[in-house]
Amino acid sequence: MPSPLPVSRLRLEFSPSVNARPCSSPLVFPTKGEKLFSEKGPSPRACRLPSRLAWCSIDWNQLSLLHPLGSGGFGSVYKAVYCGTTVAVKQVKKCSKNRLASRQSFWAELNVAHLHHNNVVHVIAASTCAPSSQDTLGTIIMEYVGNSTLHHVIYGTGCTTAERKDDGLGCGNAFLNLAQAVCYSCDIVAGLVFLHSQLIVHLDLKPANIFITEQNVCKIGDFGCSQKLEDTVLSGPQLCQQGGTYTHRAPELLKGEKITPKADIYSFAITLWQMVTQKEPYLGDHQYVLYSVVAYNLRPSLSDDVFKDSTIGQQLETTIESCWRADVAERPNAELLLHDLHSLSLKA
């Protein structure tokens, strides 16, 4: 989980000088005599809310939940309509067994607030306030990218027969060939290049957290384990916290060492291995796997024929090996990795 946050960040409050009327994306306040919303949208003369506060308010009258998309230990995600636009809404439960962890997860999701990139799920608005009828610690409104993930595509789960036929994504593993795996990899690593440039480390990169849009574009989502790395000159090295998915967690993090962007590169290597082999990375006891990854450099097997039968397969094997090396310094950074993947995509 992300490191504990100061108490001052556990409330969202506007400064007294700001008109704290509910607002929504594009988050504007009306001038005197104007309505906030109309059939034609916000008035062109409306004053934009300061960007540092723009994501802190939700107009609850404009939000309508449609149906659940999924749920987890900290809350649920719904398909919804916000100001006439289809969105996804994550609500963090108050009744979670670990309320502090729930709060930390909520704030970690907001590490990507304000950020825009084609391969990262966009946060539209967020609030720790909610109508009394909603028993939540916090609510986050995000762009709706569908309910298809890379996990569905790899393992052929979560899609109906009609969706497999019509969505063009290939929700069964027979459709995920090496060329498509390289294409998806370019999207994922492009997202990592952007996140790392913003000093954000995802720390839970895996197929289930990579969404695939109707346009067949991968977007990285679910930032509940992410951390924003501060300037180490001022704050010192940032040590890792427990969290994330053990099969994809870099060995240095399992040992409690400091976080670097290379932890995401390791997770990407496991994810790419899954795309190529369409298998689960490890079988067996959880604790045995953790111990073996750290003590014996255990990794998923690269003996699959798919790595030997083509030039692309052989190059992907080399890429995977370089990305999951135990020595952090020997792994490529996201920029170099993206360059290599782009070169490979031209051959695929």
Q: Which residues have a catalytic role annotated?
A: 204
Report the distance separating Cα 266 and Cα 205, nearest Å: 9
Strand pairing report for 218-220 and 75-82: unpaired
CB 347 within 8 A of CB 312: yes
Q: Is the dihedral of CA 161, 165, 171, 173 positive or negative?
A: positive
Please state whether the peptide bond connecting residue 68 to the residue before it is cis, i.e. omega within 30 degrees of 0: no
- Angstrom CA distances, 174 to 136, 153, 169, stand at 41, 9, 11
Q: How far apart are the first and last CA of the chain?
A: 38
Q: What whole-number distance in Å separates Cα of residue 8 and Cα of residue 289?
A: 39
Distance (Å, rounded) from C-alpha 98 to C-alpha 71?
16
- Output DSSP code: residue 237: P
Q: Does 90 count as an annotated binding residue?
A: yes
- Binding-site members for ATP are 90
Binding residues: 90
